[in-house]
Chains A and B, each alone.
Chain A
Amino acid sequence: MRLLISDHLSNAYESLKSNRTRTFLTGLGITIGVASVTIVLALSAGVSQVIGKQISALEGNIAVIRPQSTSSGDITEQQSFAPSTITEADYAAIKATSGLMRSAPLMIVSGIPTKGTTKPSGTSVIATTPELQDIAKLTVKDGQFLDEHTNQQTAVIGEQLSVDLFGSDRSAGQTFTVKGQRFTVIGVLKRFNDPVNFNTVDFDRTAIIHLAAGKQLSGASAPLQQINFQAKDSSHLAGVIRTVDEKLASAHQGDKDYTIVSGDDIARPTSRLFEIVQGVSVAIAAISLLVGGIGIMNIMLVSVAERTREIGLRKAIGASNAHIIWQFLIESLIMSLAGGLVGYIAGYVIAFVISTFLTFDPVFTWQIVGVAAALSLGVGVVFGLYPAFKASRKDPIESLRQYH
């Protein structure tokens, strides 16, 4: 190309400068689009990172039995609404499997921890065995966790729940009720800060009671949400899973209405949901980007129309069609790339502001940089090409005759 890129750039700069407001507003459209994409990607990468960290913390020897067959992996299978198919009998059946180090059933009790008239929302009650502490890596900061010696009327509560109920994070010895049943707090959990985890329980807002107490509260049948179990080490896990599967199959008379997941699959139901939420959010953000792109095309078409005579003149003094295409394409590219850069930075600033209200931080990855760059470049090219072609196809004679 005979025309130097620097000439195109200074040319585009002059022309964009001569319409500052217009350039700014057009670039702003791209800024908003790229910023929203960046926010969504940065925050959802943060969520994935949280789940990923948990999975790697599981040391590869934990498996989870969940009710219902999730082999199809379909998100519409709402396990939480279906009556659970796993019972305490199953827990009893697998408890003594050889190679199995510890196991903990998880029973969600339908009740709200209550103190007087205080009924904090968003809280849950789960009934389990003392082994949960080790499997879920829970730390007690005040008092102790449940063990074989603590009685049925004791509970360990999350820090936030403690604050909500008693106005203090040190509430050992205090009492609260669930469905009229009185429980004494024997320990408060250290802040867990992970509402997203494989137990699908926000431990900060949960009261943990003995399985037997839970059974009393929800009737004798005692359906379980899930059973976590931990093999002696990761090499034993496959064998343990196989044995547990056999035991459950015989207990369920061959009815495969449960699933045993391990490794990355444990986090899958939640991360799958996030994938969908992320996909939808990105799609919505992409719409704003599309609107920004239409803005670029619109303004470039106006610019081409306004500068018809200039195009004619440039052709008369020696500009080829390619020169004209580049002239306008580079203008739209400058707007989209500059808008995209500002949008990327703004997106992270906003993501960090948002994250102060959330329990996870936005994550910086090169993928997001790539996506933001590719999107701005793509928008600039896609929406700049048509006006540029239109400009280059103008007949110089007609163009020069304009406004005569």
Chain B
Amino acid sequence: MVKKHTKPIVIKLKELKKRYGIGNAEHYALDGVDLIIEKGEFIAVMGPSGCGKTTLLNILGLLDRPTDGDYLLDGKAVEELSSAHHARIRSEQIGFVFQNFNLVPRISVIENVALPLTYKGMRKMKRLKEASRVLKNFHLQEREYYMPAQLSGGQNQRVAIARALVNNPSIILADEPTGNLDSRASHIVMEELSDLHRRGNTIIMVTHNPKLTTYASRVIHMLDGKIASDTKIPVKDESKTEKIPLGHGRKGKE
């Protein structure tokens, strides 16, 4: 495929290992994972419980450190960096979407979305403006000053996705984003993610649900800490993969 050489590599994993326990209890959650993720891919990571997919996601998100192996994010080795440095990378390059949304319940929707910008040192007015702009893309603008508890599960997850997106991350990591949602809300959320993908965002999603793989551009099956299969799904509609700048613009365009 021609695409492979034209798109920049976002993530490169080499012989990545994660060991838990020592001695007899030693157990490799990740046992030598090699993976290259290009910009704009929508990857669904599948596999049974305990296959290491969440561990992989945590390491990709710099919430966990690999025991062994290399992790290059945007061409830079990151596994050796200090935890403060990791925090900065998380705030600038990574967006998280969680199964249970993880919105801060006592602050409004817009403040939740603006939260990652706080850690970039952005001033409050600018933060809220950015957050408002992102929320507009999710058609949640009129709910900006609602509290998370006043929204439905699907809306909460869309707010969470907006939050993951607000700092223009290189990658969006989603851990079972529809795990707590009914099928209707799941569909809406997946459409939203799929839309992000079409706009050129890189998404890595861990899921149990085989139906969701239809939204992905690449499906990785994991088993016992290793990648068992790696399938690229042919793009259905070429025109939709074109980069459409998101409301707030992608990195490098600002």
CA distance A321 to B83 in the complex (A): 8
Q: Which residue of B lies closest to A396 (CB)?
A: B63
Measured between beta carbons, the chain B residues less than 8 angstroms from A312 are 102
Measured between beta carbons, the chain A residues less than 8 angstroms from B104 are 310, 313
Q: Using A2-B121, A397-B58, A404-B100 as known contacts, say yes or no to A317 and B106 having CB atoms under 8 A apart.
A: no
**25 A–B contacts, CB within 8 A, in A order:** A4-B123, A11-B118, A15-B106, A310-B104, A312-B102, A313-B96, A315-B63, A316-B61, A316-B90, A316-B102, A317-B90, A317-B115, A317-B167, A318-B88, A318-B91, A318-B167, A319-B87, A319-B119, A320-B88, A321-B84, A322-B84, A323-B87, A323-B119, A397-B58, A397-B64
A147-196 residues at the B interface, CB under 8 angstroms:
none
Measured between beta carbons, the chain B residues less than 8 angstroms from A14 are 106-107
Q: Using A316-B61, A318-B167 as known contacts, say yes or no to A400 and B102 having CB atoms under 8 A apart.
A: yes
- Residue-wise, chain B 81-106 has the 8 Å CB interface mask toward A (1 for contact) of 00110011011100110111010101
Query: Closest approach, in angstroms, between the C-beta of A304 and any C-beta of chain B?
Result: 15
Extra contacts, 8 of them, besides A15-B106, A317-B96, A404-B100 (Cβ < 8 A), are A4-B123, A18-B106, A313-B96, A315-B63, A317-B119, A318-B90, A320-B88, A321-B84
Q: Does B251 have its Cβ within 8 Å of any Cβ on chain A?
A: no
Measured between beta carbons, the chain B residues less than 8 angstroms from A323 are 87, 119
What are the 8 A-B residue pairs with the smallest beta carbon separation, nearest first?
A318-B91, A2-B121, A320-B87, A318-B119, A317-B116, A18-B106, A313-B102, A318-B90
Q: Using A7-B118, A313-B104, A321-B87 as known contacts, say yes or no to A400 and B98 having CB atoms under 8 A apart.
A: yes
Measured between beta carbons, the chain A residues less than 8 angstroms from B61 are 316
Q: Are A3 and B118 in contact (CB under 8 A)?
A: yes
Measured between beta carbons, the chain A residues less than 8 angstroms from B226 are none
Q: Does A309 have its Cβ within 8 Å of any Cβ on chain B?
A: yes
Q: Are B124 and A7 in contact (CB under 8 A)?
A: yes
- Residue-wise, chain A 64-91 has the 8 Å CB interface mask toward B (1 for contact) of 0000000000000000000000000000
Measured between beta carbons, the chain B residues less than 8 angstroms from A316 are 61, 63, 90, 96, 102
- Residue-wise, chain A 306-333 has the 8 Å CB interface mask toward B (1 for contact) of 0001101111111111110000000000
Measured between beta carbons, the chain B residues less than 8 angstroms from A317 are 90-91, 95-96, 115-116, 119, 163, 167
Q: Does B120 have its Cβ within 8 Å of any Cβ on chain A?
A: yes
Which among B61, B87, B107 has the highest number of chain A CB atoms within 10 Å?
A: B87
Q: Does A117 have its Cβ within 8 Å of any Cβ on chain B?
A: no
Q: Are A2 and B120 in contact (CB under 8 A)?
A: yes
Q: Does A367 have its Cβ within 8 Å of any Cβ on chain B?
A: no
Measured between beta carbons, the chain A residues less than 8 angstroms from B167 are 317-318
Interface residues on A, range: 20 to 34
Q: Are B116 and A318 in contact (CB under 8 A)?
A: yes
- Residue-wise, chain A 1-20 has the 8 Å CB interface mask toward B (1 for contact) of 01110110011001100100
Instruction: Give the total of B residues in contact with A, Cβ under 8 Å.
Output: 30
Query: Closest approach, in angstroms, between the C-beta of B142 and any C-beta of chain A?
Result: 23
Measured between beta carbons, the chain A residues less than 8 angstroms from B123 are 4
Q: Which residue of B lies closest to A19 (CB)?
A: B106
Q: Are A4 and B121 in contact (CB under 8 A)?
A: yes
Query: Closest approach, in angstroms, between the C-beta of A10 and any C-beta of chain B?
Result: 8
Measured between beta carbons, the chain A residues less than 8 angstroms from B98 are 313, 400
- Residue-wise, chain B 24-66 has the 8 Å CB interface mask toward A (1 for contact) of 0000000000000000000000000000000000100101100
Q: Which residue of B lies closest to A15 (CB)?
A: B106
A356-404 residues at the B interface, CB under 8 angstroms:
396-397, 400, 403-404
Query: Closest approach, in angstroms, between the C-beta of A197 and any C-beta of chain B?
Result: 60
Query: Closest approach, in angstroms, between the C-beta of B194 and any C-beta of chain A?
Result: 23
CA distance A400 to B87 in the complex (A): 16
Query: Closest approach, in angstroms, between the C-beta of A249 and any C-beta of chain B?
Result: 76
CA distance A128 to B90 in the complex (A): 87
Query: Closest approach, in angstroms, between the C-beta of B1 and any C-beta of chain A?
Result: 33
Q: Are A318 and B163 in contact (CB under 8 A)?
A: no
